[in-house]
Amino acid sequence: MSAAVKYGDKLDQIENHFQDLTNQMADAEIIADPDQYRKISKAHKDLAEIVGKYREYKVAAEQLQQAQSMLTESDPDMRELAEIEIASLGPAIEKIEEELKVLLLPKDPLDEKDVVLEIRAGTGGDEATLFAYEVFRMYSRYAETQRWKVEVSSVSHSDVGGYKEVVALISGDKVYSKLRYESGVHRVQRVPATETQGRVHTSAITVAVLPEADDVEIKIEEKDLKIDTFCSSGPGGQSVNTTKSAVRLTHLPTNTIVSCQDEKSQIKNRAQAMRVLRSRLYEMELEKQQSAIGAERRSMVGSGDRSEKIRTYNFPQNRLTDHRIGLTLHQLDLVMEGRVEAIIDGVIAHFQAEKLREGATA
C-alpha cells in the first residue's frame, strides 16, 4: 500500500491544518500580536514541506489517472502518448511516496536546535592538528552555503598553524538535523609536508556535535560553578591581550571544564562558555537516557558515538569513504571546500531508511 493511500486521512488533516494556519497568518489581529504570529508562522513553516509534497503527489496521481483513461482512445497516437506518460509518472509517484514516508516519520525535537561543534586533534601529532583546522574550515564553508552563523568559542593552536582543539557555536535553520551524524573519528591518509620519503601517514581527529540546550532544559546553579579568568593567548601560546578577558568555567558536580577566549569582552566570553557548558551537560543527560533504551535500538545510538571511526579522507586518491554506509566519493578536493552535501545527505537518508524499517517491523 502506498504512503499516500495508507496515510491519506492524516495527510488531508495536515493539509487542512496548514490552510487554517495560512488563513490565520492573514488575520489582522494575529498580525498585530508578534508572539502569536511568530508561533503560527513557525507551525506553518514546519508543515510546508510535507504539504507541498502531498500536493505534488495529488497532481501526479491525477495526471496518471487521466493518462490511464486515454488508453481506451481509438487513436493509436493518443494511446502511445498515454503509455509514455504512464511510464514516466509511475516511478515519479513512487519517489514522491517514499519522500512522504520520510516526512511522516516522528520529528526528533532536537532537529531544530543549534549546535556546539567540537573538533580535537587525535593521533598523528602536528598532522592531526592541521587536519583538524581543515575539517573545521570544511564545516564553516558548508555552514555558509546553509546560511548558518558560526561563532568560535575557543581555539587552541598548534605550532604549525593547526588546531589542537576548536569549539564553535553554529546557529541557523535545522542545524542539528543536518550535522547530527558527523560525530565520530575522522581519519586522514596523506603525505605530510615534512615527509621526505613520500610515505603516506594516517592521522585522526574527533568531531562532536552537541545539540545546544535551552536554559529551561539544563539548570546550572551558581554554587556548582568555579569561575576563573585569565589572559587569552594566540598561536604558539603567546599572549594576545593583557586583560583577563578569557573565562574558564568548571562545573563542580561533573568536573566539566569549559574555556572561552575568542571574544575581547569577559562578559561575552562567560556567556559563550555557559552555552557550551549547558550543551555538554545536556549531552550527558541524553546519553543517560539513551543507555536505558533496548538493545535493538542501540545501533542507532551508536551512530553518533565519537569513539567510532566513521570516515576516511584519502588525499593521494582524492577519495572520501563513509564507513557506516559504504559510500565512497572521488571528490575529496571539493568536499574539503565545503561541498559535503552528498555525504551528509547520504548518511541522513541511510538512517531515515533504518527508522522506516524499524517502523515496518514494529
Q: State residue 343's pLDDT score.
A: 95
- Report the length, in residues, of the chain: 362
State the average pLDDT over residues 342-351: 92
Domain spans of the chain?
A: 3-103, 115-213+295-361, 222-289
Residue 42: pLDDT band (50, 70, 90) is confident
User: Confidence band (pLDDT; 50, 70, 90) for 230?
Assistant: confident
**Adjacency order of strands within the sheet including 225-230:** 225-230, 246-251, 256-260
pTM over 0.75: no
Judged by average pLDDT, the poorest of 114-118, 228-232, 334-338 is 228-232
- Residues 17, 20, 25, 28: is their CA dihedral positive or negative? negative
Work out whether the CA dihedral 68, 69, 70, 71 comes out positive or negative.
positive
Is pLDDT at 301 greater than 60 in this prediction? Answer: no
Is the distance from CB of 231 to CB of 243 less than 8 angstroms? yes
Reported confidence tier of residue 52, pLDDT bands at 50, 70, 90: very high
Q: Indicate whether 289 pLDDT > 90.
A: no
Asked if pLDDT for residue 22 goes beyond 50, the answer is yes
Please identify, in words, the CATH class of the domain defined by 115-213+295-361.
alpha beta
d(CA 215, CA 280): 13
Least confident of 79-83, 137-141, 171-175, 194-198: 194-198
User: 154-185 pLDDT, tens per residue?
Assistant: 899 999 999 999 999 999 998 999 999 999 99
- Range with the lowest mean pLDDT among 36-50, 133-147, 276-290? 276-290
Q: How many C-beta neighbours within 10 Å does residue 33 have?
A: 12
Task: Transcribe 136-162 into DSSP letters.
Answer: HHHHHHHHHHTT-EEEEEEEEE-TTS-
Determine the average pLDDT of the residues in 31-49. Answer: 89
Mean pLDDT of the chain: 85
- Who has greater pLDDT, 308 or 219? 219
> Average of pLDDT values for 128-147?
96
Backbone angles phi, psi at 161, to 5 degrees: 95, 10
H-helix segments, 25-161: 28-31, 34-69, 76-103, 126-145
Q: What is the pLDDT of residue 5?
A: 57
User: When comparing pLDDT for 304 and 331, which is higher?
Assistant: 331
Q: Check for a shared fold between 115-213+295-361 and 222-289.
A: no
Residue 311 CB-half CA count within 13 A: 27
Least confident of 13-17, 282-286, 316-320: 282-286
Examine the pLDDT at 298 and tell me if it is beyond 60: no
Cβ-contact 201, 120 below 8 angstroms: no
Domain 222-289: which topology? Double Stranded RNA Binding Domain (3.30.160)
Percent of the chain residues past pLDDT 90, beyond the cut: 50
Confidence of residue 272 (pLDDT cuts 50, 70, 90): confident
pLDDT in tens, 97-124: 888 888 887 777 788 889 999 999 998 8
What pLDDT does residue 295 have?
40
